[in-house]
Structure 1
């Protein structure tokens, strides 16, 4: 089983201007799906999402590619600070 949190955190930390404010967590549903949640500084949200969502979609593709061998379902979501 791959460590999806480390993978996503490595990618996101290299994209943002405040890498110390990156927080990545993992939740598993009862059905076995894995949801990776990413929290970044407010000013870095646009960098992580990208134009028309292209950056976050690329991160999702990398996570899904890493999960193919194990057969797990992985999704990545960016959470906004409340």
Structure 2
């Protein structure tokens, strides 16, 4: 079926591209993910610093922004940070570990 779509859209002779996973299956780097998302919300990614700490309750991810940029990560009425927290929980779903994202700035 995929070959049909490749012929249909003119990619019949195109090689199949596969990507390598950097983390083993089932694992992900949540602080790097949060840095990627938050970094794309502010003016430059250098304005965001993400640190994480693990304790008995779970994983706590701190997002430190340059002054005036925290509002972009938080969003109106906290909708953006709520969405980021939801994405982090979904990425960490099978581990039975609580995660929390806190924005400082």
Q: Shared topology, TM-score over 0.5?
A: yes
What is the CA distance between 1:7 and its match in structure 2? 0.6
Q: Which residue of 2 aligns with 1:70?
A: 95
What is the CA distance between 1:18 and its match in structure 2? 2.9
Distance in 2 (CA, whole Å) between partners of 1:39 and 1:63 is 17
Q: Which residue of 1 aligns with 2:37?
A: 11
**Which structure dedicates a bigger proportion of its chain to helix?**
1
Worse-superposed segment, 63-72 or 6-15: 63-72
Distance in 1 (CA, whole Å) between partners of 2:57 and 2:32 is 19
Q: Which residue of 1 aligns with 2:65?
A: 40
What is the CA distance between 1:32 and its match in structure 2? 4.4
Matched, 1:25 2:51: yes
Provide the TM-score with structure 1 as the length reference.
0.89
Q: CA RMSD in A?
A: 1.1
Number of residue pairs the alignment of both structures matches: 79
Query: C-alpha offsets along residues 5-63 of structure 1, whole Å, 9 cap, x if unaligned?
Result: 1110010011001321210011111x141000001111211100100000000000000
Unaligned runs of 5+ in 2: 1-26
Unaligned runs of 5+ in 1: none
